[in-house]
């Protein structure tokens, strides 16, 4: 097309724009008349960008009609909220009028779509809730008329920038979520740059107050399912009317009970048939001493204090037995805030903070509906580690399918695990075991040290780790050739955290010293004690090799109890002030009837301060392995004579 054709088209669009404005003015008048008919005689408007807004009205003084009027008030205020959403419309229409046919075809396409939406909207002007459609049409028209040089930014997903050919490498755009989703920040769009390197696998990079990263590493830019219905907030007029002028049913300094009216309005929502949920949005970071309480119908399933948006998001799910919430039915949403005596003044907080509520017609496990990956990204679960002596593990044990399958299930519990007492001259059993573990969940890399021992019985130490979270930096067997401190010198692995949300963790680089120490009985024989104490030398050697490591684990089967170590608390490794022993000597790490703490986890460095939990994993009880059989025998003792020892950390 030529410039003349472009001008004609733009004149048409401008004409359509002013026609739309006129229709909205007409809709305003009809809406006001309709409100007057239903009893709101003082309805008024304030005109201003980006849309007209209903300001306030006075309800008739009829007590018997209070509940019906509250519903109407809530409906009108919902209209206000929906119109307000237009303020967040940064939906870009990326049109550059340079005379190219492709670009003008897009203008014509958007004009046709706008005209189609306008035609539909004209037929529905009798209903106030449909104001939102006119505002959006108006917004599109304004973009077409006033912003012809903006970029199209409808791209979503990992390869979004490839979906529009006019977006190039390093070009900035706003990336919006797919239909039915919204950014977890509840903003309209996310500023991002398109990266097209060699034309292969384009992706978005983004940064800002809601985090940073790459689209092919972070699920859907943090998009969450939109709510089914916006209930409102605690300071809304309809809620205040229901609670006789207060946002709560009752409150004092340490407790506030909220009782909100919820109607699953068929005009905007969806029926719930298999459970439902609510999202409470607090306008600030909820103080640490404040807890959210629920009652018979709902339970708290997630609380996220978001440092990026300075809000707190609380997910409430319906309990089992509360599955249905039909359209146009009503329930009372009840929850409470509570603080300890002398803590946050709950009544003051409730009086001065509007708590918004959104309804979802399905249950969701975390604050971000439909995107648990984002919850794990922002609030990751702790890393789970285990040390496990799997007792003479070789091709024979691997060939016992029921036994091997149970070991697979045990090791699949962990992000990092080390195993001792691999005895396999063919060195095939452990790689095969890892293959079976990955057949369940293909996330693990592995490495083994050399086969070691001064006798014909050689052993290896093995490691597995989640490759999505960690990468191997170094691995070696401690060089004991000049000192001969150990029967089987410990094996050392150094891992570095590489997960996309690595910044959320305190432990970034981790050294692991794993070994099976020589058990020698006798009160006067100090062989076992000496091997344990020399583990400090292995630690010192590791720091020489990797001086940047702050966090180190010394783990394994120390045989540090019962007949092998008479007084374990006198070990110099135990009395060393710079470490912590997680497994107490009162614990029992053995499967047999003996009561001995042979297996241990010793921590050095900052990791000592971010332990979440620790203990002995009793697989016998957890999996009821006495009821699983191999050739007629329970597999409990066939798995190992040791239980794994484990801990969690950030």
- Enumerate the active-site residues: 459, 516
Which run of H or E residues covers position 397? helix 395-398
Half-sphere exposure of 252 (CA within 13 A, CB side): 4
Of 200, 146, 151, 198, the closest CA to residue 172 belongs to 151
Nearest alpha-carbon partner for 391 in 586, 131, 591, 554: 591
Phi, psi (degrees; rounded to nearest 5) at 186: 70, 15
**Residue located via tokens 């107050």:** 209
User: Per residue in 592-626, is it b (16+ CB within 10 Å) or e — as a string?
Assistant: eeeebbbbbbbbbbebeebbeebbbbebbeebebe
Phi, psi of 415 (to 5 degrees): -85, -35
C-beta of residue 194 within 8 angstroms of C-beta of residue 161: yes
CA-wise closest residue to 649 among 576, 559, 580: 580
* Assigned token pair, 309: 């948006």
- H helical segments located in 62-201: 66-84, 101-122, 131-146
Phi, then psi, of 339 in degrees rounded to 5: -135, 160
How far is the CA of 345 from the CAs of 3, 118, 280, 334, in angstroms?
66, 51, 19, 20
Pairing of strands 356-360, 416-422: unpaired
Cα–Cα distance, 398 to 589 (Å, whole number): 23
3-state secondary structure 234-294: CCCHHHHHHCCCCCCCEEECCEEEEEEEEECCCCCCCCECCCCEEEEEECCCCCCCCEEEC
Pairing of strands 383-393, 416-422: parallel
Backbone angles phi, psi at 285, to 5 degrees: -75, 115
d(CA 537, CA 485): 10
Is residue 280 within 8 Å of 260, Cβ to Cβ? no
Residues 259, 265, 270, CA angle at the centre, nearest 5°?
110
Measure CA 401 to chain center: 36
* Residues 507 and 610 sit within 8 Å (Cβ to Cβ): yes
Question: Which of helix, strand or coil describes residue 520?
Answer: coil
Token pair listed for 79: 């209209």
- φ and ψ at residue 374, rounded to 5 degrees: -65, -40
Tokens of 416: 């990092």
- Identify whether 50 is preceded by a cis peptide bond (ω within 30 of 0): yes
- Region for 145 from its dihedrals, namely left if φ exceeds 0, alpha if ψ lies in -120 to 50, beta otherwise: alpha
């Amino acid at each position: 097309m030529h410039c003349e054709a472009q001008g004609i088209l733009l004149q048409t669009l401008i004409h359509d724009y002013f026609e739309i404005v006129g229709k909205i003015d007409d809709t305003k008048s009809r809406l006001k008349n309709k409100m007057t008919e239903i009893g709101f005689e003082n309805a008024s408007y304030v005109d201003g960008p980006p849309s007209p807004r209903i300001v306030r009205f006075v309800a008739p003084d009829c007590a018997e009609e209070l509940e019906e009027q509250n519903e109407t008030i809530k409906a009108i205020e919902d209209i206000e909220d929906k119109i307000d959403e237009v303020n967040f419309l940064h939906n870009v229409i990326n049109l550059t009028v340079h005379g190219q046919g492709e670009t003008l075809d897009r203008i014509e396409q958007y004009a046709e779509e706008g005209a189609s939406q306008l035609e539909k909207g004209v037929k529905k002007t009798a209903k106030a809730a449909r104001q939102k459609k006119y505002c959006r049409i108006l917004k599109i028209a304004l973009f077409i008329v006033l912003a012809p040089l903006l970029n199209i930014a409808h791209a979503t997903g990992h390869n979004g920038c490839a979906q529009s050919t006019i977006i190039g490498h390093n070009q900035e755009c706003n990336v919006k979520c797919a239909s039915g989703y919204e950014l977890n920040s509840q903003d309209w769009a996310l500023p991002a740059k398109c990266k097209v390197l060699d034309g292969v696998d384009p992706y978005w990079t983004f940064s800002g107050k809601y985090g940073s990263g790459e689209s092919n590493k972070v699920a859907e830019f943090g998009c969450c399912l939109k709510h089914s219905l916006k209930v409102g907030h605690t300071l809304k007029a309809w809620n205040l009317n229901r609670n006789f002028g207060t946002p709560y049913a009752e409150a004092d300094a340490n407790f506030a009970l909220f009782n909100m009216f919820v109607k699953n309005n068929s005009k905007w929502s969806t029926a719930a048939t298999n459970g439902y949920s609510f999202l409470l949005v607090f306008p600030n970071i909820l103080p640490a001493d404040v807890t959210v309480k629920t009652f018979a119908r709902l339970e708290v399933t997630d609380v996220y204090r978001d440092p990026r948006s300075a809000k707190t998001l609380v997910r409430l799910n319906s309990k089992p037995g509360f599955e249905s919430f039909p359209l146009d039915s009503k329930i009372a949403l009840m929850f409470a805030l509570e603080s300890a005596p002398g803590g946050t003044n709950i009544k003051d907080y409730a009086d001065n903070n509007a708590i918004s509520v959104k309804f979802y017609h399905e249950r969701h496990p975390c604050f971000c509906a439909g995107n648990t990956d984002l919850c794990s990204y922002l609030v990751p679960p702790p890393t789970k580690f285990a040390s496990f002596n799997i007792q003479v593990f070789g091709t024979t044990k691997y060939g016992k399918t029921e036994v091997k399958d149970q070991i697979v299930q045990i090791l699949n519990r962990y992000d990092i695990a080390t195993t001792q007492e691999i005895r396999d001259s063919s060195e095939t059993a452990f790689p095969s075991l890892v293959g079976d573990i990955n057949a369940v969940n293909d996330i693990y890399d592995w490495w083994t040290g050399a086969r070691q021992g001064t006798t014909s019985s050689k052993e290896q130490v093995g490691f597995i780790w989640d490759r999505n979270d960690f990468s191997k930096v170094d691995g070696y067997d401690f060089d004991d050739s000049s000192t001969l401190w150990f029967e089987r010198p410990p094996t050392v692995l150094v891992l570095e955290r590489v997960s996309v949300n690595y910044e959320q963790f305190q432990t970034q680089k981790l050294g692991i010293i794993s070994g099976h120490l020589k058990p020698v009985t006798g009160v006067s024989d100090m062989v076992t004690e000496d091997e344990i104490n020399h583990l400090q030398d292995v630690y010192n050697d590791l720091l020489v090799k990797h001086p940047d490591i702050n966090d180190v684990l010394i783990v394994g089967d120390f045989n540090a109890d019962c007949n092998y170590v008479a007084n374990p608390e006198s070990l110099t490794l135990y009395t060393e002030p710079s470490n912590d022993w997680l497994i107490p000597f009162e614990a029992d790490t053995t499967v047999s009837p003996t009561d001995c703490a042979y297996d241990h986890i010793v921590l050095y460095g900052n990791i000592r301060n971010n332990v979440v939990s620790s203990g002995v994993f009793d697989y016998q009880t957890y999996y009821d392995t006495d009821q699983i059989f191999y050739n007629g025998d329970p597999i409990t003792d066939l798995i190992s004579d040791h239980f794994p020892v484990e801990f969690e950390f950030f």
